[in-house]
Structure 1
Amino acid sequence: LRRAVADHQRRFYGLEVDAETEVLITAGASEAIAAAILALVEPGDEVVLFEPYFDHYATSVALAGGRRRVVRLREPDLSFDVADLESAIGPRTRLILLNTPHNPTGKVFDAEELGHVARLAIRHDLLVVTDEVYEHLVYDGGRHIPMATLSGMAERTLTISSGGKSFGFTGWKIGWAHGPADMVSAVLTAKQSLTYVSGGPFQHAMVTALGLDDGYFSQLADDLEGKRDLLGDGLRAAGFEVFPTAGTYFVTADIRPLGFDDGVAFCMSMPERCGVVA
């Protein structure tokens, strides 16, 4: 499986990865994220996150004794202010945790945005941990750009992904991380205290999945793009404002055009109002 991961990275992104020393198999991407934070963050260190973010990031940082510094993705285009990113970086900053395509907004960071992150990571000698589990769920002719492909970033980036989203096997919990050998070795030290091995038989199946032809991956994106459009059109027809979704399988809708301003209260009222659980 480590060889299949390395082959996948070469095939899709032109990355040369040593399967023996630079790839680690984990119990899903979630374990890879937790092990990475536990290995690379010391108590008091700061981790920069883009908000909103997958809640697992916050718990992993807390377990490591780290502190979160957040940069907000701004409506309606879900862009970020580079000045906000610069101000979030301080003397205790250890790493930037970047998720693209992004959960839960559906944003796909473009080359210019990734360039800003890379420039600041290099300037401040920071590590970057990237969660790229939605890498094959990109729409409208867009493309996913791994941070490790940018100049000067392969040597400071740990790339995390899994088979859960690309192949619909979330329950199998087969993930991986790759990066510089010393960084992967450090993550392994933490990982082996979380689980020893996961999904042995499923790992063989994932080798086959990663080797599927290009038609599978393009059809996956095309199919989900159509479903995104169907759902978005329906929500707009119901009166919601729908923000752009360039990737993932998330659609973000704003309830304010309907006269509501409390998302939690709105969701709690839906079973009574229309028989829908949110």
Structure 2
Amino acid sequence: MSKLATDHGAINLSQGFPGFDCDPHLLDLVTKYMKAGFNQYAPMSGVPVLRERLAEKTKLCYGVEYDFEEEITIVSGATEALYAAVTAVVKNGDEVILLEPAYDSYAPAVLLSGGIPIYVPLRLPDFSVDWDLVKSSITERTKLIMVNTPHNPSGHVWNQNDLNTLAEIVQDQDVYVISDEVYEHIVFDGRKHLSLMTHPILRERTFVCGSFGKTFHVTGWKIGYCLAPKELTKEFRKIHQFLTFSTATPLQYALAEYLENSSRYLELPLFYQDKRDLFLEGLRQTSFKFSPAEGSFFQMVSFGHLTDESDRNLAVRLTKEIGVASIPVSVFYQGKTDHKLLRFCFAKTDRDLEMALEKLAKLSF
């Protein structure tokens, strides 16, 4: 959809990346470390000072301690973390539970390891987890459950009951968990992100995957991390070593220094809530139906009451005729299930959001 947006000069609210630059100070820090000669390979697990800062951040945000030497690994993007974690534990014939709609890298990673994806749909309209369905999907071959909160594409955020129920399900099973938490600092309306690491049962069997790119508006840097218990980290690093080996050195040192000021991530929810609210106010002038996103920088809208048109066709038409690009939510389902939903990314400049909303208000069916 991004290419289609470019081809037709549309405002791109499809792909999930910020439409604005990062803090200039962060760029200055990268330049500083480049000029200081930090341009050779970083240690495979990440530069120690960044892993230390990440351990401190984790303790501050979640009250959980990780050993920066043996339980924290810096990687080339959260997608690499997800892939390495899957590959570390999934073997041929293992079943992996995927809650869909799901980010599109999950299933390919499972299949490349010889695993069998078991698709469990989230409940509509709020995209909460049907835990009875999850429990009934577990068999003696289940090796892994992949979860995502805040959720892409729906913006749903887990609560404490979700963590407790998942813990009850896996505590007597030989089942691991991968938790995709790249939007951990983008939650709204006073909610708190409840990382799976905060539950003692889950902490001992979970790979928590995060993203500096999503948090600090530098998705093009492809830099993320994985937090996991010592024994899981050993297996994770065996894969990471032969995927990318290490991640850009000056970026790591720059992020380590940047993390010294906690307000740079603690204030992020308010920054994105302002953008979400601006976008919602404009959506109220359209014919779409929606529930405000609880987290992430995505907002879904429903159009089934307006037309029988497929979500893919509508997304293409919006891009070509109206000049606003979105993502049809059916692409997040293995069977391309069409619930008549579109996903918009509101991590854009206010001006771009306002122009997009003006265009959407003129849409007719």
Range into which the TM-score falls when normalised by the shorter chain: over 0.9
Letter in 2 for 1:250: F
Look up the match of 1:183: 232
Contact 1:134–1:165 under 8 Å retained in 2: yes
Going from structure 1 to structure 2, the CA distance change for 1:44 and 1:236 (only over 3 Å counts) comes to farther
Look up the match of 1:126: 175
Q: Does 1:62 align with 2:62?
A: no
Q: Does 1:53 align with 2:112?
A: no
Look up the match of 1:163: 212
Of 256, 277, 283, the match for 1:207: 256
Higher RCO (Cα < 8 Å, 6 or more apart): 2
Of 263, 272, 278, the match for 2:311: 263
Shift of 1:210: 2.5
RMSD: 1.4
Pairs aligned (count): 277
Q: Does 1:242 align with 2:290?
A: yes
Contact 1:45–1:67 under 8 Å retained in 2: yes
Alpha-carbon distance between aligned partners in 2 of 1:38 and 1:255, rounded to the nearest angstrom: 38
Contact 1:260–1:266 under 8 Å retained in 2: no
Gaps of 5+ in 1: none
Look up the match of 2:54: 5
Q: Does 1:251 align with 2:305?
A: no
Gaps of 5+ in 2: 1-49, 327-365
Going from structure 1 to structure 2, the CA distance change for 1:226 and 1:91 (only over 3 Å counts) comes to same
Letter in 1 for 2:285: A
Shift of 1:172: 1.3
Q: In the TM superposition, what whole-angstrom CA distance separates every residue of 1:136-178 from its partner, at most 9, and x where no partner exists?
A: 0011000011111113222111111120111111111111111
For residue 161 of structure 1, give the secondary structure of its aligned residue in structure 2.
strand
Shift of 1:181: 0.8
Look up the match of 1:231: 279
Of 80, 89, 92, the match for 1:40: 89
Shift of 1:108: 0.7
Contact 1:105–1:252 under 8 Å retained in 2: yes
Going from structure 1 to structure 2, the CA distance change for 1:271 and 1:129 (only over 3 Å counts) comes to closer
Shift of 1:275: 3.1
Q: In the TM superposition, what whole-angstrom CA distance separates every residue of 1:180-201 from its partner, at most 9, and x where no partner exists?
A: 1110010110111111111111
Matches within 5 A, 1:68-83: 68-83=117-132
Matches within 5 A, 1:69-148: 69-148=118-197
Letter in 1 for 2:79: S
Letter in 2 for 1:201: P
Of 4, 20, 30, the match for 2:79: 30
Shift of 1:75: 1.8
Look up the match of 1:152: 201
Shift of 1:218: 4.0
Percent identity (aligned):
38
Alpha-carbon distance between aligned partners in 2 of 1:119 and 1:261, rounded to the nearest angstrom: 42
Shift of 1:133: 0.9
Going from structure 1 to structure 2, the CA distance change for 1:136 and 1:197 (only over 3 Å counts) comes to same
Contact 2:280–2:292 under 8 Å retained in 1: no
Letter in 2 for 1:48: I
Shift of 1:73: 1.6
Shift of 1:80: 2.3
Q: In the TM superposition, what whole-angstrom CA distance separates every residue of 1:235-263 from its partner, at most 9, and x where no partner exists?
A: 23211111331100000111112223410
Going from structure 1 to structure 2, the CA distance change for 1:25 and 1:111 (only over 3 Å counts) comes to same
Contact 1:173–1:199 under 8 Å retained in 2: no
Going from structure 1 to structure 2, the CA distance change for 1:142 and 1:66 (only over 3 Å counts) comes to same
Shift of 1:272: 4.3
Contact 1:267–1:277 under 8 Å retained in 2: yes
